[in-house]
Amino acid sequence: MLCALSSCIMAKRSYYVYGSSEFAEKEKELTIKLTTAAAIAQDFTGHKGRLYLTVIYDDYYVFSEKTYIYHFNPKVGYGNSGVWVSGKDARFKRVERGKYIPMPYGLGARLPEWVSEP
């Protein structure tokens, strides 16, 4: 009974893999666009090199200074720690220990063209 109740209360989180048609559709729903979110993430981190984006998680663009392969664990999926930028209101935060998304290997290994080089 308690599990059934808690599952009703908790909203299901969704993720959209960069480069997919679902990602493009989700981005259309968000107020903050990808290039703006990337600039916010770079300003927040002070990182002068390449930032990687793999997913939109709920309404957050999830950026990392490390490659996709660094965050991938074949047993549990993709770890979504990094800099999260809200696509609704541009708020940002660093998530050190994010949840694992059950995403198959290779889905998120794309690099956006607009990310700056070191």
Q: How many CB atoms lie within 10 A of CB 113?
A: 5
- Spatial separation of the C-alpha atoms in residues 96 and 79, rounded to whole Å: 10
Residue 100 pLDDT grade (very low, low, confident, very high; cuts 50, 70, 90): low
What was the pLDDT predicted at 78? 64
Q: How many CB atoms lie within 10 A of CB 48?
A: 9
pLDDT in tens, 41-76: 988 888 777 788 878 889 999 888 776 555 566 666
Asked whether the predicted pLDDT for residue 118 surpasses 70, the reply is: no
Q: How many CB atoms lie within 10 A of CB 104?
A: 11
The continuous run of DSSP H or E covering 108 comes out as none
Residue 40 pLDDT grade (very low, low, confident, very high; cuts 50, 70, 90): very high
